[in-house]
């Protein structure tokens, strides 16, 4: 079954999150799957596991408690946010595979721009090598007592919610942002984690162009 893409433009976070939740809780079994593409004004969002000590100095940026998984993250202009609203039971796959497919769509999007994304075990999202973002070399196996993020920057975050087998919340890919707000938090709960965007790893791309590409990749990978 195909997935309907909707481009919402720049929209405030809280009413968008509420609309997603209402959609997931009320949709019928024959409702179309959708992917909402948007960007948000500056906002910090706390996941269900979010700890107050990971908010270092939010300053003038609002903090919103959400019901997605994960810790604190930042949304702001120049970022592509994608909210897939998928009926997993109808699609025929479970949450673990859903997360894999989300990450694959992000990896394939980055690949178009010559950037090689990486997964880090136990830390959802996509990371790139800071010294060579295009390197295809696999990350070395993690060693006890070492920093699993050494030499890496996070370029895409992931936080989801599933209710009645239906997904909402989703992924955020950094394109051309003011990255300063990430220094006000421990991104995704990891102190000192570097956060990057396409611009800071040498890729000049328009946010709207990346949004269209990510939407197409997600629609392909999430289709049943």
- For the question of residue 166 being annotated catalytic, the response is no
Catalytic pick among 172, 188, 193, 196: 188
Distance, CA of 173 to CA of 127 (rounded, Å): 11
Q: List helix spans (H) across 80-155.
A: 88-91, 95-112
Q: For 159-198, b where at least 16 C-beta lie within 10 A, e where not — what string?
A: bbbbeeebbbbbbbbbbbbebebbebbbbbbbeebbbbbb
Q: List helix spans (H) across 34-175.
A: 88-91, 95-112
The Cα angle at residue 20 between residues 16 and 26, in degrees rounded to 5: 140
Residues that are catalytic: 188
């Amino acid at each position: 079954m195909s997935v309907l893409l909707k481009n919402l433009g720049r929209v405030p976070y809280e009413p968008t999150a509420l609309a997603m939740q209402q959609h997931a809780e009320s949709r019928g079994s024959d409702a179309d799957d959708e992917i909402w593409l948007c960007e948000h004004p500056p906002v910090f969002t706390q996941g269900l596991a979010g700890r107050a000590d990971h908010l270092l100095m939010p300053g003038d940026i609002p903090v919103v408690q959400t019901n997605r998984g994960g810790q604190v993250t930042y949304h702001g202009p120049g970022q592509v946010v994608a909210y897939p609203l998928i009926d997993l039971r109808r699609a025929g796959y479970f949450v673990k595979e859903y997360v894999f497919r989300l990450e694959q769509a992000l990896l394939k999007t980055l690949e178009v721009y010559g950037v090689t994304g990486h997964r880090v075990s136990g830390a959802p999202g996509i990371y790139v090598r800071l010294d060579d973002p295009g390197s295809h070399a696999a990350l070395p196996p993690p060693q006890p007592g070492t920093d699993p993020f050494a030499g890496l920057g996070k370029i895409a975050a992931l936080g989801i919610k599933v209710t009645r087998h239906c997904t909402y919340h989703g992924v955020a890919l950094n394109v051309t942002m003011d990255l300063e707000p990430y220094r006000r938090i421990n991104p995704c709960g990891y102190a000192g984690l570097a956060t990057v965007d396409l611009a800071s790893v040498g890729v000049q791309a328009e946010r709207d162009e990346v949004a269209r590409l990510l939407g197409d990749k997600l629609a392909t990978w999430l289709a049943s």
